Every structure is written in C-alpha cells, then in structure tokens.
Structure 1
Amino acid sequence: MSAFVITVDGPAASGKGTIATALGRLYGLPVLDSGLLYRAVGVGVQRRGADLDDAQAAAAVAASLKAEALDDPDFRTRAAGEAASRAAVHPQVRQALLAFQRAFAEQPGGAVLDGRDMGTVICPQAPAKLFVTATPEVRAQRRWRQLSAQGEAVSQDEVLADILRRDERDSGRAAAPLRPADDAVLLDTSEMTIEQATDAARRIVEAARAG
C-alpha cells in the first residue's frame, strides 16, 4: 500500500494498543506505542531520583530517549503507567517527544500510531483516525487481568481508581489533552471481543482508504 498513516487514540486499557498492533500486522506497517515513550520518561525520571513534577528533569529524560530502550519490562507496570500520566502533563516533555513521533509517522509506506494525541497533535492530517474507548469499569477489569498476569498484587477497585485518576489528568491537562479529533471515528469496545474490535477497526480504516 502507498504511504498511509493510521492514528489510534483513546484512554488507558480501552483496547487501542491491541487494535493498533492488529492493524499494523494487517497492513504491514510499523506500530508506535507512544504510551511507552511517556512510561520510559516517567520511569527514567524516577531512576534519576528526580521529581515527576519537575518539568525540566522530565524534559531532559525525554530528550535523551532512544527507541531501542523501549523494551524494558519495567515500563509495563502499574507504577510506570501512573508515572507516565504525571510526566505527560508537562508541555516540555511533549515537545521533546514530538519530533520522535512525527519522524516515526513519516516512514516510507506509513505507520500506525497508538496514543492519546496522535490524531489531534502528532498527525492531524492522518487519513485514518480512530478514537477507541470503553467504560471505566470494563477498562479496569482488563487492566487488572493484565497486571495480575504479570504477577502484580492489586485489587480491581484500586485499578479502577487509577484509571479514573488518569482519565481526569489526561483529559484536563493544558498540553494536548485526551480528546477525539474532530474527524476521528469513535469505536466503543466495551461489549466487543478482541476479534470484533479489530474487525470494526479494519472496516473503519478500509472506509478511510476508499474515501
């Protein structure tokens, strides 16, 4: 296929990562999980002994980030998700990661970008934009299962509280708040299986390609 960029935005545990991965496989496109970038920044700030509320410290970590460092399993933990949400509020951090993400999107052939501001800030001209969501309760259950499988001892109520807190922080921040792009197609996966959600996403992308 010719150069084609697909953005998949949405809140935590909505299914956007699974959908982005499936679309990348289907269309033979590289996939960027931008959440990992912010998780890497958050964990990096903590490893340096700095404060997550220190915008300059967080921006310094973001500016030094390398793609090959994103495979660290520490970035997949509950704590890393919380750290990412705190680091992402800083405009300096988002600016430092902007070029990284846009360069990824501009690869020959295109790319799939998974995040919270891919369709609104990073690639506003992308021809195919999805905004994936689900109820907080469904998302909490999904994330709880994931964390339990990783061996993290946490209750579903605690995970729901985390998700509600992150939703408020991500939607309320001044820099690139979480919101659907005006031309994004909303996909609610609350009542869908993985197969149903990925097929619905494929149909959305096919409609964008045809249009």
Structure 2
Amino acid sequence: MKQHRSVAIDGPSGAGKSTLAKRLAEALGYLYVDTGAIYRTVGLQAFRTGADPSDPAAVIPLLQDIQIRLAYGEDGLQHMYLNGEDVTAEIRRHEISAYASGVSAIPEVRAFLLEQQRGLAEEHDVVMDGRDIGTVVLPDADVKIFLTAAPEARARRRWLELKERGQETAFETVLHDVLERDERDTSRAAAPLRQAEDAVLADTTEKDLEQSLELLMHIVKEHLQA
C-alpha cells in the first residue's frame, strides 16, 4: 500500500500559514488541509448559539449535533460545511477568530476533530497547517515547518486581508488580537502552540509571499530528498 507523504506547518496567528500552505500544496500536487478552518467552524457554531467559547460546559454539548465536512471545489479551494451549509466565507469574519481560539483550547473539541484530520493524511499526500500539526496531529510527518513572523508583521498582513474583504478594523485592534491570541495559544493546557523539536523554523518577517514560498519549497525538497 502506498505510503502517503505529509508536510506539517505550524505557527502563530497571521503567519501566513493558510496562504503559503495552499500554494505549497499546489506546487507539490498534494491535498491542502486548513485545520484552522475546521476549528473556526466549531467556533461559528458557538457564536451562533450564544455559547461562551471558553466554557467547556457550554461548548461540549454542541458537538453532539454538529456535522463538519470538508469538500474541495473546482476552484481547488477547501470549503467548510456546517450541518450541510457552506460556511467557508462566514468563518473568516474577524469576530470568529476569538471563538475559534476559545473552542480549540478545549480538549474534548480537539479529540473530536483529531481523527478526521489524521484520516485525511492517511488517504492523501497532504500539506496540513495549524497550531499542533507537527506535535500532536501528525507527529510522524515527513516534513515539519514552524512558520512565524514578528507580531507587527503578522498583524499588518491580517489587517490588509480584512480590508480586502471589506472588513474595516483599526490596525491597533488587529495587533491587540494577534498578541492576545498568541498568549492563549501558547498557554493553553490542550496542545499548546510550540515548535516541534524536529521542525524547521521559517521566519518570514522580512519576506514577501513569493520569497516565503521559495523558502518553504527549499525546506520541503531538502527533507523529502534526504
């Protein structure tokens, strides 16, 4: 049976994981899996039901009636479905970020989604990005990359992304949210954000998109050929 290859990309909010991982997957001919979108979908359900995303007692019961599905359209994009509804655009709303971060800190939520993520890697060659891919989800990934950048650089990228979507938000607000999420993600008890011991650090603070992609391609090719 064919052994599928996997590339795990972890890093903090706004590091460009989704954009770069998708481009990398296209270049390699692998399936791209955005795990952050999966958690955002659970966060959206908490938002819609008025549940406190940091309260396990409020969030865990939601898992009984939630159906999450990933599908890939003709455009090659990963679409997220919540109980049959395409919520791909809605989960990217700025306010959903805090809900995604809250629910992702709950062990039961992570356990609920873990096998779904691993199953994709068992069936396909994947580039999977998130915050605990190399440490928890795919600890035996062929290549592990920890993608990061200075908080100010990450906040600016996120701010510009929101502006392009027509969501006007002050840069200071976005920077505050980035720093706050860094604190939540690195200090949570369940699968905290950290660089795997065998992950390659990729800092893109001073790099544009193409330079960053070139760096990741170099890392992947070097490790897959080793």
3-state SS of paired residue (1:42) = helix
Q: Return the offset for 1:78.
A: 1.0
Stretches of structure 1 lacking an aligned partner (at least 5 in a row): none
The equivalent position to 2:67 in structure 1, one of 50, 65, 68, is 65
Task: Specify whether residues 131 and 87 from structure 1 end up closer, same or farther in structure 2 by C-alpha distance, changes over 3 A only.
Answer: same
Alignment-mate amino acid for residue 49 of structure 1 = G
1:11-59 Cα offsets, whole Å, 9 max, x none, are 1110111111011101111111111111111110121232212314423
The residue aligned with 2:90 is: 74
The residue aligned with 2:165 is: 150
Contact (CA 8 Å) 2:4, 2:121: kept in 1 or not?
A: no
Please identify which structure carries the higher strand content.
Answer: 2
Task: Say what the alpha-carbon RMSD is for the aligned residues.
Answer: 1.6
Task: Specify whether residues 2 and 202 from structure 1 end up closer, same or farther in structure 2 by C-alpha distance, changes over 3 A only.
Answer: farther
Question: How many residues of Structure 1 are paired with residues of Structure 2 in the alignment?
Answer: 210
The residue aligned with 1:18 is: 19
Q: Return the offset for 1:62.
A: 4.5
Percent identity for Structure 1 against Structure 2: 41
3-state SS of paired residue (2:50) = coil
**1:120 matched to 2:135:** yes
Q: Distance in 2 between matches of 1:155 and 1:30?
A: 35
Task: Specify whether residues 106 and 61 from structure 1 end up closer, same or farther in structure 2 by C-alpha distance, changes over 3 A only.
Answer: farther
Q: Distance in 2 between matches of 1:126 and 1:23?
A: 15
Question: 1:1-40 to 2 correspondence within 5 Å?
Answer: 3-40=4-41
Q: Distance in 1 between matches of 2:69 and 2:25?
A: 18
Stretches of structure 2 lacking an aligned partner (at least 5 in a row): 71-80
**1:106 matched to 2:122:** yes
Please identify which structure carries the higher helix content.
Answer: 1
Alignment-mate amino acid for residue 24 of structure 1 = A
Give TM-score, length-normalised by structure 2.
Answer: 0.88
The residue aligned with 2:52 is: 51
Contact (CA 8 Å) 1:59, 1:96: kept in 2 or not?
A: no
Task: Specify whether residues 35 and 154 from structure 1 end up closer, same or farther in structure 2 by C-alpha distance, changes over 3 A only.
Answer: same
